[in-house]
A and B are shown apart, each in its own frame.
Chain A
Amino acid sequence: DVKVTQSSRYLVKRTGEKVFLECVQDMDHENMFWYRQDPGLGLRLIYFSYDVKMKEKGDIPEGYSVSREKKERFSLILESASTNQTSMYLCASRMVNTEAFFGQGTRLTVV
Chain B
Amino acid sequence: DQQVKQNSPSLSVQEGRISILNCDYTNSMFDYFLWYKKYPAEGPTFLISISSIKDKNEDGRFTVFLNKSAKHLSLHIVPSQPGDSAVYFCAASRPQGAQKLVFGQGTRLTINP
A43 at the A/B interface (Cβ < 8 Å)? yes
List the one stretch of B11-19, B67-75, B94-102 in contact with chain A. Answer: B94-102
Q: Which residues of chain A in 44-90 are interfacial with respect to chain B, using CB atoms and an 8 Å cutoff?
A: 44-45, 48-50, 56, 58, 88, 90
C-alpha spacing A87/B103, complex, angstroms: 16
User: What per-residue 1/0 map shows which CB atoms of A86-105 lie under 8 Å from chain B?
Assistant: 00101010101101111111
A4, A35, A44, A49: the one contacting B98 at CB < 8 Å is: A49
- Which DSSP category, helix, strand, loop or mixed, fits chain A's interface? strand
Please, which residue of chain A has its CB at the minimum distance from the CB of B4?
A: A42
Most buried by A among B38, B43, B46: B43
Given A40-B9, A40-B105, A102:B100 Cβ within 8 A: no
18 A–B contact pairs at CB < 8 A?
A4-B43, A30-B98, A31-B98, A33-B101, A35-B103, A37-B38, A42-B6, A42-B103, A48-B100, A58-B100, A90-B44, A97-B95, A99-B34, A99-B49, A100-B91, A102-B36, A102-B44, A105-B42
Please name 16 further chain A to chain B contacts, defined as beta carbons within 8 Å, in addition to the given A40-B9, A42-B105, A107-B41, sorted by A numbering: A31-B98, A33-B98, A33-B100, A35-B103, A42-B4, A42-B106, A44-B103, A45-B101, A50-B98, A97-B95, A97-B99, A101-B46, A102-B36, A103-B43, A104-B42, A105-B41
| A residues lining the B interface (CB < 8 Å) | 4, 9, 30-31, 33, 35, 37, 40-45, 48-50, 56, 58, 88, 90, 92, 94, 96-97, 99-105, 107
